[in-house]
A and B are shown apart, each in its own frame.
Chain A
Amino acid sequence: MSLPVSMSVVLDTIMCQTLTSRIIPRNFRLLEELERGEKGIGDGTVSYGMDDGDDIYMRSWTGTIIGPHNTVHEGRIYQLKLFCDKDYPEKPPSVRFHSRINMTCVNHETGVVEPKKFGLLANWQREYSMEDILTQLKKEMASPHNRKLVQPPEGTYF
């Protein structure tokens, strides 16, 4: 088999490289997230899994949040869709609620979590994970400006 890159170029790169990135590449990062999701997280009030077990690039995910206690969301089960594009985790995934919800950071027509109104997405860092997004959204549900908002009927979808 022939080498894809001329060897001298590669060796030069190795020798010259002083700024070597040790960051975990996208696919292995998502495999880690998948395994963590399969094991189950914390008290089980947030969870996620892959939509299409055949998608080698692991793009589409479903997340679930159980509404926190002492809020209008208590006992409700919210489903979300997360989409991790090729540039994840440099860029955040796109996140939208599938279950209808009334929340300040969620678009009322589409269910999209609007990055401008949700700090974790607006100030995204590659260390953040889908678990962080779901956990932060759950906290957001319990925040003073969200916990008492009138909600659409349970079991309705965007």
Chain B
Amino acid sequence: MANSNLPRRIIKETQRLLSEPTPGISASPSEDNMRYFNVMILGPTQTPYEGGVFKLELFLPEEYPMAAPKVRFLTKIYHPNIDKLGRICLDILKDKWSPALKISTVLLSIQALLSAPNPDDPLSENIAKHWKSNEAEAVETAKEWTRLYASGA
């Protein structure tokens, strides 16, 4: 099982990720496991995450692309759709996954999620409540966490 060739699809995607990176996103496979990627996403401008560098990890399971990549944040982030362990509530990672999607579309969607938090479909109940009851204050907390944990230093 450990000795199989990397599927062509994954090789092509990896080459694309490296040769034509999306602005604000980088993803590179780890040396000892080409299905395991170190990912960095820059906090989008005009969001509470602006200026932050967010580390994520991504893994392509054996069934990929029939199954979605597994991905989570390693950097702490204050966001209603991301929990304390960095797990992400995003439909395309669950029931809306399609083999037509790719690593790059997943990462773009995560970047978009940072721009558009959705407290009505929360993963972190407390953060979602905060977002709905006092958005200005929740945004301040998110900025504070970006400064504390995602400053890239």
Contacts and interface: CB of A to CB of B under 8 A. Distances in A.
A17 B67 CA distance: 23
Contacts, number: 85
Interface string A42-72: 0000000000011010100000000000000
Interface residues of A, number: 27
A2 to B, nearest CB: 8
B85 A31 contact: yes
Contacts of B28: 3-5, 10
A25 B2 contact: no
Interface string B50-75: 00000001010110000000101010
Interface of B is mostly: mixed
B109 interface: no
A21 B2 contact: yes
B69 to A, nearest CB: 10
Chain B, interface size: which category?
A: 35 or more
B33 interface: yes
B6 A20 contact: yes
Contacts of A20: 2-6, 33-35
A2 B14 CA distance: 16
A14 B18 CA distance: 12
A21 B6 CA distance: 9
A4 B62 CA distance: 25
Interface string B68-110: 0010101010000000111100000000000000000000000
